[in-house]
Structure formats: C-alpha cells, structure tokens
Structure 1
Amino acid sequence: MPQGPQTMQESELIYDWNTLEGSFDYSTRHGVQLNDETLRDGLQSPSVHDPAVEDKIRLLHLMDELGIASADIGLPGAGPRAVHDVEALAREIVDGRLAIQPNCAARTVRADVQPIVDISQKVGIGIEVASFIGSSPIRQYAEDWTLDRMLRATEDTVGFAVENDLPVMYVTEDTTRAAPEVVKALYRTAIECGARRICVCDTVGHATPHGVRQLIRFVLDEVVKPSGEDVKVDWHGHRDRGLAIPNCLAAIEAGAHRIHGTALGIGERCGNAEMDLLLVNLKLLGLHDWDVSRLNEYVELASQACHVPLAYNWPVFGHDAFRTGTGVHAAAIIKAESKGDAWLADRIYSGVPAGWFGLRQVIEISPMSGISNVRYWLRSHGYDETDEGLCSYVFEAAKTCDHTFTDDEVHALCRAHSVHMASATAPLAETV
C-alpha cells in the first residue's frame, strides 16, 4: 500500500532544518499584523501608474479578504486627486463594513494632517495619522534641521492629530541610520504627545537582519517599556539590498507588532518589502491563519492596475513558479500523483504548496524532458499516451528544440504526426 501523509507523518517526509534547536520559535509571535502600503508608498515608484479609484477599491477588498489588518490609503496632503481617492477608499471601508483599518501618510506639519481630519469627520471613520519625519544625521545635515526643531514639529503635529481624536503612528524615516539618542528623543516626545504606535523605517534599504533585531530591541527596551504606555512598534523596510523579507522576519523575531509591505514590492527606487511574499512566508510559518487562495488575484490586479510586469521567475506567482519541463522533476511529481496523493505531488519539488494559493503544478515538454513528461502531457490533454509512435515523435521533436514547447506547439506536433501516419497508410489502403 503506498505511503503518504495519510499513513506517514509530515515530519517523516520532510526533515525541517529550520526548526532545529536554536531556531526561532515563531509560534511565540502569533498576532503579528500587516500594513499594506501599496496605495501610498508603492505609488511613489517613478515607473508605476496611479490606479483608477475603482481598482484601488478592488485592491482594498482583496487586502481585507486576505487578512491584512490595515492599509495606507494615501497622502491627502499631496493634492485634490489624492484627497478624492482617500475619501472614496475611507467611505468604501465604512459602506462595505470592511475590517481593514485605514491610515494616511502626512509630513510632520499640520497642513498635511488637516485633510486627514476633514476626511475622517466627513466619512465617519477614524483614520490613523502616519506622521513621518527624517531622523538620520545625513538627513539632518542636508536639511539643516536641528533636533530641537524636529522635536517642536513632532509636538505640534502629533498633538494636533490627537486633539482631533485621530490615532497617531509616528514614523521616523531612515531609522536604521539614525543615532540612538535621536531615536529615543523623537519617539519619547511623540509618545508623550499621544502617539500610540511608532514605526521604525529602513527607508533606503540599509539594514541587515542583525541590524534590524538590534534596532527593534533597542526601541522596545529603551523607548516603549520605559514609557509605561501601550505602544505598538511597526517595521517598514525597503529592498535596496534585496533583504526586505529577511528583515521583516528579523523584525518579527525581535518583537515588532506590525509589518509593512506593498504588492510586488513596488515603491521608491527598488521598492518595499513584498506584501505577497510576506504573506506566503507568514502562512508557511504558521503566523497567518487566513485563507490566501485569492493572493494570486491580488498580485495580478496590482500588476495590471499599476502597470508593473510580473517577472516570470517571481516566487509563487510568476509564470514559472510551478512549471517544470525537466525530466527528473516531472517524473517525481508524476510518481507522487500515481500514489493518489495530491499533498505529496504538491510538495515533492516545491517548497511552497501551489494549492494554498489557488495554483497547481504544471508539467511541460522541453529539451530537458524525459518521456514521462510527454506521456503526462498527452494524457492531460486527451491524447493516447500509450501511442508509442506519437510519444516518440513529440519526444524527438523536443530534443531538437531550443525552448519549452507551448501547448499550441505540442498540439501542432500531434496533428502533424496524425497527418504523417495517415499519409503513410494511404497506399496500403488503395492497394487493398
């Protein structure tokens, strides 16, 4: 009798080095939330298009269905279009009774907070003010800012938002290159003025995972705990060194309460942490209990609405993520399927189960294929896989080709073989 997860434990089929002694126990971090920055920070990329408000609303609904706790719905201080879209999104949350909580970005000036106050009062929903200010010495030097000036701006802006009954997330840009005494002074002032969430930012993608852990622990130990207030800590990271997802995991390990990201990692320069891949990893780590079968739809909509091409090798959602034309790989998947075990077939050559995301394993025919690829493809498309002549014809064609066949190309080969066989038998028929 074939063995699979029905008769064997998963741990017997997959030895997980990720969970050996000394590894981080992610089960201790249940409750970590996500904040989607696609509709604000993501749109700051010079290569993306600002989607129509209808597409923004569709994205907002998908975020809500995917269990994303909050979303930055724009920076209304940027102008009339931003005000219109932010109001429409806030109203959709109210009218659609969505669980997702809105926030809006604002510079640390009253003029940016006022439109958030106006929209909040008009629509009838609390909108968290994400008030940001640069914190690194390089930024202070370039702007000719003194710490006293930054602290006064913080007091005025945070105080103004709190006076208008809006929650505040105080955001320090470039925190990963800021001096400890400045970080402490800015956050302490914001908390004293009523901010109940602070956001640690890797604005230029400078940090390594070790640096992230050091910084988050410092903020928790030196700022949050001494304050005596119930203050949550967010992490916001960028992709400049390609470390965005590892840095998000490091922030979670160190105790961050909410993690930011954008669909497909869009954003300034190389972009932000990839929300789609963050969801994939949190699902695999057991930290996200929501149904993620529509995550592919979220990715596709963001790609289309923002005019961002999806790379063929993008993890999980790229065209090649679950395709194989390689003989050894295909044979293993086919053998797993022959055991009647979908669980096994979805994991034998995949670290991410395609089925979780409404996707499936795909076996194709390429120069690297074995005869099992050909038989599988023929069977899957309604041809006779026991027809040795047809199998050989397609297999030999693949070995002389320089690419993976499309379905149309294989169908054409099957038709050509059929014509060839008909013409080969025609003389015999005429003689008879």
Structure 2
Amino acid sequence: MSPNTSNQIWIYDTTLRDGAQREGLCLSLEDKLRIARQLDELGVPFIEGGWPGANPKDVQFFWKLQEQPLRQAEVAAFCSTRRPGIKAAEDSLLQAILAAGTRWVTIFGKSWDLHVIESLKTSLEENLAMIRDTIEYLRSQGRRVIYDAEHWFDGYKHNPEYALQTLKTAIDAGAEWLVFCDTNGGTLPSEITTIVEEVVEALPELKGDFPQMGIHTHNDSDTAVANALAGVLAGVKMVQGTMNGYGERCGNANLCSLIPNLQLKLGFDCIPAENLGQLTQVSRFVSEVANLAPDEHSPFVGLSAFAHKGGIHVSAVERNPATYEHIQPETVGNRRRIVISDQAGLSNVLAKARTFGIDLDKQNPACRQILERLKVLENQGYQFEAAEASFELLMREALGQRQKFYELKGFQVHCDIVACDSDSICVPYALATIKVSVNNQDILEAAEGNGPVAALDAALRKALVNFYPVIADFELTDYKVRILDGNTGTAAKTRVLVESSNGLQRWTTVGVSTNILEASYQAVVEGLEYGLTLHSSAKVALASS
C-alpha cells in the first residue's frame, strides 16, 4: 500500500484493540473475526487486530486469519518497542509479533520525556535506542512498520527537541508511517494544525514519499473527530480510529463520522464509493456484536441522525430534503424518519403514513382524529417516536384498517419466591393466566416464567400459537421501563417499551399505566399483534406478485 496518491486517506481501524479497551466491552475471538470481516467488506485498508502475546485470544485471532485471510485489508499486529536493557531480537514480545505473520506491524514508542523517566524508568538515550533497535529488527525480518508516537502532542509541547528526536530516530530506522497520537485526548484542533505544520518544517523527510504522517486521537475533550480532520488538513495521510468511537475513557475518533466527513465533505478517498452505503449497517453490526446499545443520536449512522419531529421541519423536508439535511441519508445507508410526537402537525402524520404504505390525504377526517388522539395519548405518557409499531396500529385503527387477530378478555399474574439457597439467593417465580378469544372461540391458558412479564408473554404465545404458528418465530429482544412521575412514589405512572423481532425486522411497541404489569401487557400484546400484521401483509404482497 503506497501512500503516494494525493487524494487518498488511509483509514486504520483499531476497534479490535484500542476500541476493545472501552469499559464494559468484551469481544470474544469469534466476535473479533466477525467484525474484522465486516470491516474488510466495507473497504477499510488497515485493521489493527490486537497485541499478539498479550493474551491467548489475540494469538488465536492472527492464526485464524492466516488460515482464512481477509479479502483486501492489511491486518496489523500491535506492540510496544522492546523493553529497556535488552536487544530487540531477544525480546519475547517481538517474537510473538513475528509469529502473528502480518506484513505490517504497528509499534508504539514514547515521545514524552515525562513518560520515559516516570513510566519506563529509563534514560532519554535508552528510549531512542529502543525505538531504533525495535524498528530495525522488524525491518530485518521483512516487516513494514507503522510507528505510533505515543503522547506525541503532550511530548512536543513539553520538550519539542526531544520529541522530534524520537521521530527522526524512527525515520532513520525505517518506519514507513509516523502516527501522531493524542493519547490523553487533551489537545484542541488549532494546536493539532500548528504542531503538525511545525513538524513538517522541522523534518524535511516528511515532504517526500516515505515516511508519511498519520494521526490517532482520543475524545477526552470531545474533539477527537475535529482533531483528526485538522490533522488531515495539515497534511497527514492516515487516520486511526474506531467504529462508533469505542475506546478507553471517552473513546477514540469515530470512523463512522470521520469517513463520511472526509469523503463527502472534503473530497478525499477513504473507502470505495460504492461501499459508503454500508456504513450504517456496519456501525450497527459492530454495536450488536459488542452487545452495546447503538447511539441513536450518533451523526450520520444514528437512528435519529435524519429524524424530523417539528411540523415546520417535516413540511420543509417533504418539499426539499436539503432544507434540514446536510447529506442524503441513503449515501451512508441511513434513512429519513418522520417522528411522531405531541409536537407533530398534519405534515408529520401524512409523511409517517407514507412510510407505512398508507396513502392518506389531509382532507380525510381521520387525519385530524389521528393527530388529536396522538396528542391525548402522549399527554398521558405514551411515546410514539420510540414506538412506531404502536403508532401504525393506532393509525390503522382510525382508518378502519386494523386487523383483529384476537380479542383479549383479561389476565392474572401470581408472583412468589419459591426457594432461597444457603447464600440467601432467592429464585423468583411467576404464573400468568390469560384469556383470549380467537374466531369467537375462548382460550384460557397459563404459563410460568422467571418474572411476571416473561410469564405473561409465554401465556399469550401459548394461547395463540395454534392459530398463528408464525408467533413461534417472534422474539422479545428488549424491554425498557421508565417511571414518568417519580414524585408520586410507588403510585407513579410507568411507561414500558418492548422491542420484538421476527429475525428479519424489529419493531417497538409501548404501554403506559400506573400498574407496571398492565403497561407491560399492553406493549407485549401489541408487539405480537404488529408481528402478525407484518406477516399478513407479507403474505398478501407475495400472493399479488
């Protein structure tokens, strides 16, 4: 990979190493392999796989990729310079790096004299020897080297002469990339620009083909993306970051923002243009594998990134999306959403109806009825912007299009604690009894669960599955509870959001009540109903095609 192309920015993804240092994030070997293959398909040119030798999982990751290589991405192994006082060829850490079998190796070394003295507890001269010896040894073994100058900006601000010496040493030893790291995340964009420009003037070697400059920023000042962009505008050609901005403390530069900003706004080539539409899907895939809820308000790829709630906004966007959208959502694989809430106007209702495949005219009296019903329910605590499936059912009911799959007659739930072990850990138990009517036939069923909502869900499915076998494919994937008026104590009104899935689609329904079981019951019942509505619509569409 040559950095010569003037318009090319080389994206270096470190989700699997630096991103995995986020508190609460733990990736298995299979997780890492799945993410790596998604990044490869997206067209990311460099993927940092981890630190071989630091743990068995990272060793196995590189072995697996030797057996089944990626399609186009270069995988980089990551490690520190050799330890003080020994030769690089004798350092077991570097032997593990070589065993990983990657063509590219990323080595980090100390730029800040404070770290050399306080952390490494060695001399400034020995630190330079460690950088030189490590890179020369790896080059002698046929490896290409990316040198991450750790704490670069802090080191340069405190002792610019020594910081520049570390870079000059890396260049002379054969590093092909010099990456300026804002490891503490405390630098601001204006400082990034100034320092990068000063480095280029101080080191004439950086004006040629090799080495080239890169940047690695952290988000502790909430400027990681801005800092990376500033670095690019000052001349760096490699940008390191993570998907969704995952990383230690406040995270790393978010590639889901950097890639479209660089490619769509600044005109650089980062990934193949035809792949940019995969960005939202890959972002959500990574969050799903990491078992972290996606940030719905994340720029470009978030669920709310192109959501319009105010009636004036919706009306304008319907006429010309450029009025309130900085790019076309589809460019990054996202979509426009019209949010329904108590701030909605008729334009919201009409636009939302179209997303449901409902052709609704503003002259239709049902339009006003839907809007008034919406505002009454949201005043009671319902939230339809997060529960679009419930709103579609509400809309279809007002239009006389809501299919009645069953009629609910009532339910009872009995809860108990059945056993406590020697550690005083008690096992909860719930029994739900539910009565429904299907085709004028009453069905009474009971089911157990480890909690009242689980028991209710099981009893309802048990009552309906013989009539609607597809229910067996439905799964409750998320359950959220919010107390709406906490000042009333245990009498507070509760809102429940239930997310369901049929394996292909996800939908969310809502229930509100002063009784948490009643609120849960409403949301679970509508979740099953909406799933049946989707299945019924799919059958009709298939029959007509």
TM beyond 0.5? yes
TM bin, normalised by shorter chain, reads 0.7 to 0.9
Identify the residue that residue 396 of structure 1 maps to in structure 2. 372
Residue-by-residue CA offset, 1:53-112 (whole Å, 9 max, x unaligned): 3x333322332333322111111020222111122234433xx4x221121111111322
Residue-by-residue CA offset, 1:258-302 (whole Å, 9 max, x unaligned): 110100111111111001111111122221352211111210121
1:83-94 equivalences under 5 Å are 83-93=59-69
Quick one: which amino acid aligns to residue 346 of structure 2?
Answer: I
**1:325 counterpart = 2:309:** yes
Of residues 269, 280, 296 in structure 1, which corresponds to 2:249? Answer: 269
- Cα shift at 1:390: 1.0
Q: 1:367 to 1:57 in 2, by over 3 A?
A: same
Gaps of 5+ in 1: 1-27, 121-125, 337-344, 421-432
Identify the residue that residue 368 of structure 1 maps to in structure 2. 343
**1:307 counterpart = 2:291:** yes
- Cα shift at 1:383: 4.0
The question of whether the paired residues in 2 share the 8 Å contact of 1:325 and 1:404 is answered with no
- Cα shift at 1:222: 1.8
1:12-411 equivalences under 5 Å are 30-53=7-30, 55-93=31-69, 96=70, 98-109=71-82, 110-120=91-101, 126-143=102-119, 144-178=121-155, 179-225=159-205, 230-284=210-264, 285-288=266-269, 290-291=273-274, 292-336=276-320, 345=321, 347-383=322-358, 385-386=360-361, 388-400=364-376, 401-402=378-379, 403-405=383-385, 406-411=387-392
The question of whether the paired residues in 1 share the 8 Å contact of 2:29 and 2:58 is answered with no
Q: 1:107 to 1:412 in 2, by over 3 A?
A: same
SS state at 2:126 partner: helix
Identify the residue that residue 4 of structure 1 maps to in structure 2. none
In the alignment, the residues of structure 2 paired with residue 117 and residue 181 of structure 1 have an alpha-carbon distance, to the nearest angstrom, of 32
SS state at 2:179 partner: strand
- Cα shift at 1:49: 1.3
The question of whether the paired residues in 1 share the 8 Å contact of 2:384 and 2:390 is answered with no
**Higher mean displacement: 250-259 or 327-336:** 327-336
Q: Which has the larger radius of gyration?
A: 2
Q: 1:270 to 1:224 in 2, by over 3 A?
A: farther
**Higher mean displacement: 214-223 or 127-136:** 214-223
Aligned length: 375
- Cα shift at 1:164: 0.7
Residue-by-residue CA offset, 1:12-40 (whole Å, 9 max, x unaligned): xxxxxxxxxxxxxxxx9511211111111
Residue-by-residue CA offset, 1:175-215 (whole Å, 9 max, x unaligned): 01112112221122222222222111100112111211122
- Cα shift at 1:323: 1.8
Between Structure 1 and Structure 2, which shows a larger proportion of strand residues? 2
- Cα shift at 1:235: 0.7
Higher RCO (CA < 8 A, seq sep 6+): 1
Q: 1:90 to 1:297 in 2, by over 3 A?
A: farther
The question of whether the paired residues in 2 share the 8 Å contact of 1:240 and 1:271 is answered with yes
In the alignment, the residues of structure 2 paired with residue 325 and residue 259 of structure 1 have an alpha-carbon distance, to the nearest angstrom, of 35
The question of whether the paired residues in 2 share the 8 Å contact of 1:206 and 1:241 is answered with yes
Q: 1:182 to 1:385 in 2, by over 3 A?
A: same
- Cα shift at 1:354: 0.4
**Higher mean displacement: 381-390 or 37-46:** 381-390
Any runs of at least 4 consecutive aligned residues in structure 1 with deviations exceeding 6 A, and if so which? 226-229
SS state at 1:391 partner: helix
The question of whether the paired residues in 2 share the 8 Å contact of 1:76 and 1:115 is answered with yes
- TM-score normalised by length of structure 1: 0.81
In the alignment, the residues of structure 2 paired with residue 377 and residue 155 of structure 1 have an alpha-carbon distance, to the nearest angstrom, of 62
In the alignment, the residues of structure 2 paired with residue 115 and residue 186 of structure 1 have an alpha-carbon distance, to the nearest angstrom, of 24
Q: 1:241 to 1:163 in 2, by over 3 A?
A: same
In the alignment, the residues of structure 2 paired with residue 162 and residue 323 of structure 1 have an alpha-carbon distance, to the nearest angstrom, of 51
Quick one: which amino acid aligns to residue 320 of structure 1?
Answer: S
Identify the residue that residue 462 of structure 2 maps to in structure 1. none
In the alignment, the residues of structure 1 paired with residue 396 and residue 43 of structure 2 have an alpha-carbon distance, to the nearest angstrom, of 48
In the alignment, the residues of structure 2 paired with residue 169 and residue 380 of structure 1 have an alpha-carbon distance, to the nearest angstrom, of 48
Gaps of 5+ in 2: 83-90, 402-545
- Cα shift at 1:384: 5.3
The question of whether the paired residues in 2 share the 8 Å contact of 1:175 and 1:202 is answered with yes
SS state at 1:78 partner: coil
In the alignment, the residues of structure 1 paired with residue 373 and residue 206 of structure 2 have an alpha-carbon distance, to the nearest angstrom, of 71
Q: 1:380 to 1:197 in 2, by over 3 A?
A: closer
Between Structure 1 and Structure 2, which shows a larger proportion of helix residues? 1
RMSD: 2.3
SS state at 1:83 partner: helix
Q: 1:243 to 1:394 in 2, by over 3 A?
A: same
Quick one: which amino acid aligns to residue 161 of structure 1?
Answer: L
